[in-house]
Structure 1
């Protein structure tokens, strides 16, 4: 019996095989993603980076969680411009974002808050 002829008569075995393969791929990717989340949860994020760009500044801000400081680098040439101590702390920060001249942080539990840094405004005045 010709295998091609049997597939032409009944496409169900081919369809079931393809569906089973797709199911294995989807479940495998979900399990890998879940295990990566479990292995990194509970650990403080460090070196979270945000690009701060406005009319007069082009910076990279790097949050150093364990040290509770924000390092400022030139986004043009990468040279360090300064470090700012963050009183509130950056130990639980998972992400940072800059929008409309404000800096936001996302904590490891998903809360969003604005990071108010008067030092950043002073640094903006003194750092080229």
Structure 2
């Protein structure tokens, strides 16, 4: 028996809730940074880098560290599909994020047809979403 079969895979609703939480976190970060950058008068390049980090690097960076804030609140995380004990690397996280952004909600169409509930971005990146270990 495959060791992964013992898991109760996160539902689509749980994954969407995690994404909504992360979107809220990103909005809060942008708001706080914009208030801070206005009061300190940061150069435009610093503002641009901060936006790049928040929009493009937030999810891949936190995924490699164990999960985004939304993942942690919802009790889920992303692991390597072939070895669920291992966290994903930054390259996998970045590929996963790019495919997820490019396909949008379409990426989730495969969840109900896959016994591991893997979305298209999981299939492409070689990842699986699992409940966090307590």
Same fold (TM over 0.5): no
Larger Rg: 1
Instruction: Flag the structure with higher strand content.
Output: 1
Instruction: Flag the structure with higher helix content.
Output: 2
Q: More relative contact order in 1 or in 2 (CA 8 Å, sep 6+)?
A: 2
